[in-house]
Structure 1
Amino acid sequence: MTFFHWRLLLQSAGGPFLDGWLLSIIGVALIGMTPALGLSGTDLSLAGAAALIGIFFGGLVFGRMTDIIGRQLMYTIDLIVLVVGSVLCAFVDHAWQIILLRFLIGVAIGADYPIATSLLAEWLPTRQRAAMLGSLVVAWFLGATVATFLGFAMVEYLGEDSWRWMLASSGVPGLIILLMRIGTPESPRWLISKGRIDEAEAVVRKIYGQDADLSSIRDAESVRPKRLGYSALLQGEYLKRTFFCGMFYLCAVTPVFAIYTFGPVMLSAFGMNEGNLSNIGYALISLLFLLGCLPALRLSETIGRRPLLLWSFALMILPFLALGIAPEAPVGLIIFWFCLYAVTSGGPNILEWSYPNELFPTDIRATAMGVITAVSRIGAALGTFLLPLSLEHYGDGGTMLIMAAMTAVGFIISYFLAPETKGRSLSEASGV
C-alpha cells in the first residue's frame, strides 16, 4: 500500500459514502415529507423503493458500459448526476417528483458500485484487497450514520419541516468528492485487456516510477478469453458465481435497506413512538451497522472470506427470530436485538463488494458487479416496498420472522457455494 493506494481508496470511498447518505436520509425525511406532500401508503412505499429500483437499472446498464469504455470516465459522470439530483429534491411539490428524482439518484448509485469497486480492486495489492474493498462498505455505513444523525439533529432543532434540507444536504459532500476524483488514472488491467499496452505501461510508470514492471499482469491478462459480455455470466463456473454473489448479496442487503429506509417506522411499530425515541434508536442502530464492519475487515484477511460469511449469517438469524417470537418485549431488549443484528451483519456487508470483484476477470468485472448489484436490488426494492404493507397485515412479529427466513436462505446458499479467495491474486481468484 502506497500513498497512491490510500488516495485512490479515499476517492473511491467517496461514492459509497454519498450513496449511504442518500439512501438513509430518506428514512428520517419521510416523517416530515409524508404530511407535507400528502403521501399515501403507496406513495410512501414508492418513495422508499424508487432509489433501489434505480440502482437495479444503473448497475445493469452502466456496469457493462464501464467494462466497454473504461473506469475513469464513468468515475466522475455518475457523481455529477448524484449532486444535481440531490439539490433538485429540495424543490419538489408532488409525490411523483420525489419518486422520479430518487429513481434517477438510484441509477447513478447503481453505476457507482461497479465503477468504484472495479477500479480500486484492479489497483490493490493481494494481501490488502478484501479489507480495502470492504472499507468502501464502511464508507457507505459512515455516510448513512452521518446522514442519520444529521437528520435527527435537524428534526430536533429545525422541526419536521426541514425534510427539504435533509434531501438536499448530500449536495455538499457530493461536490467535494467530485472534485477529488478529477484526474484519477485509468486501471492498467483494463487498458491491457483492451490491448492498450503502451498506455498501461505509461500509467504504471507514472504511479510507481520508471523501473516499474507490469509483465506479470500483462501475462495474466493475455491468457484471458476476450470479448466476454453478459452471456459469460450465464455459462459454466461464472453462472454459479453470479448466482452465489447475487443471492447472498440479496439476502444480506434486503433487511438492511428495509431498516435504513423505514427504521423509525419499524421502531414505532415496536412501541418506540414517544417523542423522538424512534429517531434516537434509529441513529444508534445506524452507528452499530458501521462499527460492526470494522472487525469484519480484519477477519476477512485472517480467517478468510468463507468462514466470516457463514458465521455472520448464522448469528444474524438470531435477532430476527427473537423479535419475531417476542415483539412485545421491553424497549431496551428490542433495541438490543436490532443492535445485535447491526453488529453481526458486518461480515456479509463488507464481502458484498469484495467477492464479485475477486471472482470475475477484468473483461466482465464491472459487468458482473453491476448485474449482481441489480439482482440484489430486486429483493431490496421489493422488501422496501412491501415492508409497510407487511407491518400492516402481518404485524411487527410476522415481519421479523420473514426477515429471519430470508437470512437463513443466505446462510444455506453460502454454505454450498461460497469459495475461499484469501491469499490469491486477482488473476488467480477470477480464473475458472
Structure 2
Amino acid sequence: MQTSNDYHKKNYKKAPIKEVHLRVFLAIVLGQIACGYALGISGTALNDAQNYIHISDLWVGLIGAGSLLGLMGSAIMGRIADQFGRRKMLMIDMYLFALLSLLQLLTASPLALFLIRFLIGLMIAIDYTVGNSLLVEWLPLNESGKRQSQLIIYWTIGFILSYIAGITIHGFGSRNWQIILASSAILGLITAIFRSVAKLPASPSWLASQGKYKTAQKLIQKHIGKKWGLPFKLLKAKPTDSVSWKTLFTKQYRRRTLVGGLFYACQAFAFFGISIFLPILLASMGMSDSNLSGIIYNGCMLVGVLLGSRLFQTLSRRIFLIGTFFLSALALLLMLLGPAHAFVFQMALFALFSIVLSSGLTLDYPYPTELFDIKVRATGVGTCITISRIGAASGTFLLPILASLGGAHLAMLVCLVVLIVGGVICLIWAPETSPKYISKNN
C-alpha cells in the first residue's frame, strides 16, 4: 500500500552511482567471465582429447554445442525469474556451475559429457537472463546501456582465458583434456563466493511489479538513500499477472521478439561456430602456427569488443547492427575469394572478421533488454537468448562436421550466408532503441 510520501520520492533510476550499483555490476561481471570461459573451453579441451581417445565428429559437435543447447533454457529461466524474482536464482547458480564443472573429471563418456555440458548451459542461462535483468533494474538510466555493453568485454576476457588455458595446461597425460574442461570450476566458485559475501539485493522494479511497493521502497532507501524511491509509473502500475510466452508473439511484441532472437541467432552461429572450434578450423586452413594464429584471432576479438563498447555510445543501435553483419560477411567473402596460401593476407582478413563480428557482440546484452518493458523483460530476453542458442548450437555442432567434409572454405561459406541473412533481417525489421536517437526523431 503506497502512502502520499511515496509519491514525493525521487526516481531511484536517476540516482548517482552508489556502492550497491557497483556491487551488483561486479557480481554480474564475475559471472560473465566464468560463462565466457566455460563456453570457450570445450573447443581446446576436445582438440586435446582427440590425442588420447577416439571421438567422432558427431560427438565433438554435440559436446561442443552442449552448453549452448542448455542455454536454450533461457526462456524458461526468464519466465521463472519474472514469477519468483532474480536474487535467489543468482545466489545458487554458480555453486551448481562449479560442481558440474568438476563432474567432468569423472567421466570420458561422450553422452555423460554432453549431459553435463547441457546442465552447465542451464546455469549460464540463469546468469545471462536473470543477471542482466537484475543489473538493468538497479542501474541508473544514464548508466544502464553503457554498463550492459561493457559486459561483453568481461565475457570475452573469460573466453580468451579459456583459449590460453587450453593451450597451456599440460602434463596430466590422458586426463589432461578433462582437467582443461574442469578448470571452469575455479571461476565459478570465485563468483559464487563473492555473491554470497556481497549479499545481492533483490530487484526493486520486480518487487513493485508484484505489488510489494513497501518492500521495494525500503530496499531502495537502504541502499541508495532516504530521498530515493520508485518511479511514479511503477507506483501507479497494477501488479502484473503471470506472463505467457504467447504475449511475446502478440502484435505489441512480435516484431521485437523475432528480430531480437534472429539477429542474435545469426550472429551466434558464426561467432561460436568459428571461435569455439578455432584450433580445428585453423588446422583445416593449413595455418603453420595455429597457436599464434589463435592468439592473434582472440586478441582481435578483445580489440573488437573494446571498439564496440565505444561505438555503442555514438552509433545508433540499428546502424551498428546492420553494419557489423555486412562488414563481417564481406571479410569472409574476401577470404574465400583470396589466395588460400597467402598467410598474411588470410590472417589480416581473419583478424578483421574477428574485430568486426566481436564489436557487434556489445549489442547482445543491452539491445534485447531495450526491446522489452519491465512486464515481460526477463521472459522476452530469455526467449531471445533461447532462439539465439539454436543458432549458436547449430554453428558449433556443424562446424567440425563441415570442416571435415569440405574444409575451412565450406565452413566459412555457410557462416557467410548466415551473416548475410542476419544483416537482411536487421535491415528490414530492427527497430531503433537508443534513447539518444529515439529522442532526436520525436
* TM-score past 0.5 threshold: yes
Cα pair 2:208 2:234 within 8 Å, conserved = yes
TM superposition shift of 1:232: 0.8
TM superposition shift of 1:79: 1.1
Q: Does 1:174 align with 2:188?
A: yes
Matched residues in 2 for 1:327 and 1:234: separation?
46
Residue number in structure 2 paired with 1:82:
97
Q: Which residue identity lines up with residue 207 of structure 1 in the other structure?
A: H
Q: Does 1:45 align with 2:61?
A: yes
Q: Does 1:301 align with 2:310?
A: no
Residue number in structure 2 paired with 1:410:
422
Matched residues in 2 for 1:254 and 1:281: separation?
21
Residue number in structure 2 paired with 1:356:
368
Matched residues in 2 for 1:98 and 1:71: separation?
29
5 Å-filtered alignment, 1:5-404, equals 5-56=21-72, 58-155=73-170, 162-182=176-196, 183-219=199-235, 222=237, 226-272=241-287, 274=288, 277-326=289-338, 328-404=340-416
Using a 3 Å threshold, how does the CA distance of structure 1 residues 144 and 238 change in structure 2: closer, same or farther?
same
Matched residues in 2 for 1:346 and 1:147: separation?
16
Cα pair 2:211 2:239 within 8 Å, conserved = no
TM superposition shift of 1:335: 2.0
Deviations 1:335-393 (A, max 9, x none): 22221111112342111111111121222211111111110111211121111221233
Cα pair 1:32 1:160 within 8 Å, conserved = no
Equivalent residue of 1:301, what SS? coil
Equivalent residue of 2:435, what SS? coil
Matched residues in 2 for 1:202 and 1:153: separation?
50
- The number of residue pairs the alignment matches comes to 421
Deviations 1:313-337 (A, max 9, x none): 2211122102222361322222222
Range with greater deviation from structure 2 (289-298 or 67-76): 289-298
Cα pair 2:71 2:386 within 8 Å, conserved = yes
Q: Percent identity?
A: 32
Equivalent residue of 2:227, what SS? coil
TM superposition shift of 1:305: 1.5
Q: Which residue identity lines up with residue 357 of structure 1 in the other structure?
A: T
Matched residues in 1 for 2:74 and 2:436: separation?
26
Cα pair 2:338 2:346 within 8 Å, conserved = no
Deviations 1:171-194 (A, max 9, x none): 112111111112100111100100
Residue number in structure 2 paired with 1:420:
432
Matched residues in 2 for 1:210 and 1:416: separation?
47
Deviations 1:87-135 (A, max 9, x none): 1112223222211211111111122211111110111222222221112
RMSD: 2.1
TM superposition shift of 1:421: 2.2
Matched residues in 2 for 1:92 and 1:333: separation?
42
Q: Which residue identity lines up with residue 52 of structure 2 in the other structure?
A: A
Q: Which residue identity lines up with residue 167 of structure 1 in the other structure?
A: L
Q: Which residue identity lines up with residue 356 of structure 1 in the other structure?
A: P
Matched residues in 2 for 1:327 and 1:189: separation?
56
Cα pair 2:208 2:239 within 8 Å, conserved = no
Matched residues in 2 for 1:129 and 1:305: separation?
15
TM superposition shift of 1:159: 7.0
Using a 3 Å threshold, how does the CA distance of structure 1 residues 160 and 298 change in structure 2: closer, same or farther?
farther
Cα pair 2:153 2:305 within 8 Å, conserved = yes
Runs of 5+ unmatched residues, structure 2:
1-16
Cα pair 1:285 1:339 within 8 Å, conserved = yes
Deviations 1:209-259 (A, max 9, x none): 11213233524x717864432111111131100000101001111111112
Cα pair 1:325 1:397 within 8 Å, conserved = no
Using a 3 Å threshold, how does the CA distance of structure 1 residues 306 and 130 change in structure 2: closer, same or farther?
same
Matched residues in 1 for 2:121 and 2:231: separation?
39
Matched residues in 1 for 2:231 and 2:285: separation?
59
Equivalent residue of 2:154, what SS? helix
Range with greater deviation from structure 2 (297-306 or 166-175): 297-306
Q: Which residue identity lines up with residue 91 of structure 1 in the other structure?
A: L
Matched residues in 1 for 2:314 and 2:142: separation?
10
Using a 3 Å threshold, how does the CA distance of structure 1 residues 224 and 11 change in structure 2: closer, same or farther?
same
Q: Which residue identity lines up with residue 394 of structure 1 in the other structure?
A: G
Matched residues in 2 for 1:127 and 1:329: separation?
49
TM superposition shift of 1:36: 2.6
Equivalent residue of 1:236, what SS? coil
Q: After TM superposition, what 4+ stretches of structure 1 lie above 3 angstroms from structure 2?
A: 157-161, 223-227
Runs of 5+ unmatched residues, structure 1:
none
